[in-house]
């Protein structure tokens, strides 16, 4: 059994799927791609048992068949080949795979394709369609705030709420929260699921820049994504997501408007001088100036900068973990941001001054008590 395919096209397909494969999977067969040729169509599959991703490519084949091919060796071979048509010869009986280029032959020892777990069939109860751009934006805004704490499994993914009014994506790690809402995408019924971080990373890397539709279907345990020539099946996180609405403060009398790029640049410089264990920076607010400062008493390092701003509220000093503030500012796209505060020990809201039509972005961060440190 053999077929001919562009080396660059094959590398593109397996490269998109490679993020699924673990370095030490629970089943050795999962170190492989499953290559299945059927009706002049090559179906490539990668799986880690929690996530399964497939890509389909049209090929001209002499017969049908399947074999498991070592992922690492295949990708390294394709990376080092110049763009050219290559012939892939697969022997379903011996599991041998041969890549034939214009200058050489490369023989890989494959494995029995029957040992590779079969992808789940789509048995969904809910379906919704996203433009790829909308789903990409939702992932970009929320993914960075997902918790990595395995003791909090409900926060190890992005909470997705579907409703007839809008679709909402929420992520939190207890210290910060992001809510991304679209009212230009709706569902006929109300459904809530938690999508795991790895699946969202796979989607982020695989979604096309063109605004093609992404069909998403759900059942109680899995989500199915279909776009272009690719499919992704992931297992949902079966946990109860925190009641995030209750932590969003409604009364915020102190309001700051400031240039996002200038504040981000100041934090990058000032945080160099912060204590390495706390990464604490202090913001002093009053009038039309904000002072950003940091100090490390252990090494007698300190720095401060004054920035112009528009501030309406009481004079205030408030502390933050610098990295969290910088990540939030880096993931907003507007020139200026609104910062809404009540008290130095209460949650702070950060909002873009303008949104893309149909979207609503809200970020929340918990301040750090200045009295907890020798500051």
Q: What is the pLDDT of residues 182-217, one digit of tens each?
A: 999 999 889 999 999 999 999 999 998 888 999 999
* 375 pLDDT above the threshold of 70: no
The pLDDT score that the predictor gives to residue 372 is 52
User: Where are the CATH 3.10.150.10 domain residues in the chain?
Assistant: 2-115, 126-245, 249-372
Query: What is the fold, at CATH topology level, of the domain defined by 249-372?
Result: DNA Polymerase III; Chain A, domain 2 (3.10.150)
Angle at 249 between CA 245 and CA 253, to 5 degrees: 160
Residue 6 vs residues 39, 42, 96, 119: alpha-carbon distances, Å = 19, 13, 20, 26
Give the tokens for residue 176. Answer: 């910060």
Neighbours of 93 (CB within 10 A): 8
As a whole number of Å, the end-to-end CA separation of the chain is 71
Report the C-alpha gap between 212 and 215 in whole angstroms.
10
Report the C-alpha gap between 34 and 74 in whole angstroms.
12
Write out the CATH class of domain 126-245. alpha beta
Query: How many residues are there in the chain?
Result: 375
Phi then psi for residue 315, to 5 deg, are: -60, 140
The pLDDT score that the predictor gives to residue 374 is 42
The pLDDT score that the predictor gives to residue 21 is 97
Residue 181 vs residues 68, 154, 166, 284, 360: alpha-carbon distances, Å = 41, 20, 7, 31, 5
Neighbours of 190 (CB within 10 A): 11
Say which DSSP state 24 is in: S
Instruction: Please write the tens of the pLDDT for every residue from 115-165.
Output: 999 877 777 678 999 999 999 999 999 999 999 999 999 999 999 999 999
Residue 291 vs residues 107, 173, 252, 305, 367: alpha-carbon distances, Å = 64, 28, 20, 6, 16
8 A C-beta contact, residue 351 and residue 331: no
Report the C-alpha gap between 357 and 266 in whole angstroms.
30
Give residues with Cβ within 8 angstroms of 310, minimum separation 6: 256, 257, 258, 288
Instruction: Please write the tens of the pLDDT for every residue from 65-93.
Output: 999 999 999 999 999 999 999 999 999 89
Report the C-alpha gap between 287 and 310 in whole angstroms.
7
- Residue whose structure tokens are 């149909």: 358
| Mean pLDDT of all residues belonging to the chain | 94
Give the tokens for residue 322. Answer: 């610098």
Instruction: Please write the tens of the pLDDT for every residue from 327-372.
Output: 999 999 899 999 999 999 999 999 999 888 889 999 999 999 887 5
Predicted confidence band at 169 (pLDDT cuts at 50, 70, 90)? Answer: very high
Give the tokens for residue 173. Answer: 């790690």
Report the C-alpha gap between 258 and 308 in whole angstroms.
7
Report the C-alpha gap between 24 and 89 in whole angstroms.
28
- Superfamily covering domain 2-115: DNA Polymerase III, subunit A, domain 2 (3.10.150.10)
Instruction: Please write the tens of the pLDDT for every residue from 230-259.
Output: 999 999 999 999 999 999 999 999 999 999
């Amino acid at each position: 059994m053999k077929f001919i395919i562009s080396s660059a096209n094959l590398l593109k397909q397996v490269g998109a799927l490679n993020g699924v494969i673990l370095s030490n999977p629970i089943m050795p067969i999962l170190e492989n791609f499953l290559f299945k040729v059927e009706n002049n169509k090559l179906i490539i599959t990668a799986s880690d048992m929690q996530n399964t991703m497939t890509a389909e490519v049209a090929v001209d084949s002499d017969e049908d068949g399947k074999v498991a091919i070592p992922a690492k060796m295949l990708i390294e071979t394709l990376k080092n080949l110049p763009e050219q048509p290559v012939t892939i010869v697969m022997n379903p009986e011996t599991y041998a795979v041969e890549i034939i280029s214009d200058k050489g032959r490369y023989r890989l020892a494959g494995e029995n394709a029957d040992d590779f777990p079969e992808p789940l069939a789509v048995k969904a109860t809910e379906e919704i369609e996203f433009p790829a751009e909308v789903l990409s934006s939702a992932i970009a805004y929320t993914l960075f705030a997902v918790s990595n704490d395995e003791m909090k499994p409900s926060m190890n993914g992005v909470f997705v709420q579907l409703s007839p009014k809008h679709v909402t994506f929420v992520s939190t790690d207890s210290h910060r929260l992001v809510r991304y809402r679209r009212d230009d995408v709706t569902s006929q019924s109300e459904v809530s699921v938690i999508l795991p971080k790895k699946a969202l990373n796979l989607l982020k890397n695989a979604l096309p820049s063109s605004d093609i539709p992404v069909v998403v279907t759900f059942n109680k345990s899995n989500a199915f994504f279909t776009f272009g020539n690719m499919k992704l099946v992931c297992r949902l996180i079966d946990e109860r997501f925190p009641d995030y609405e209750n932590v969003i403060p409604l009364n915020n009398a102190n309001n700051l408007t400031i240039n996002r790029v200038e504040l981000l640049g100041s934090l990058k410089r000032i945080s160099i001088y912060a204590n390495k264990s706390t990464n604490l920076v202090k913001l002093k607010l009053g009038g039309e100036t904000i002072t950003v400062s940091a100090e490390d008493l252990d090494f007698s390092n300190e720095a401060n900068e004054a920035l112009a701003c528009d501030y309406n509220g009481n004079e205030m000093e408030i502390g933050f973990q610098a990295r969290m503030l910088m990540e939030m500012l880096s993931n907003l796209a507007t020139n200026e941001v609104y910062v809404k505060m009540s008290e130095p020990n209460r949650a702070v809201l950060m909002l873009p001054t303008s949104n893309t039509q149909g979207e609503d972005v809200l970020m929340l961060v918990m301040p750090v008590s200045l009295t907890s440190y020798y500051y």
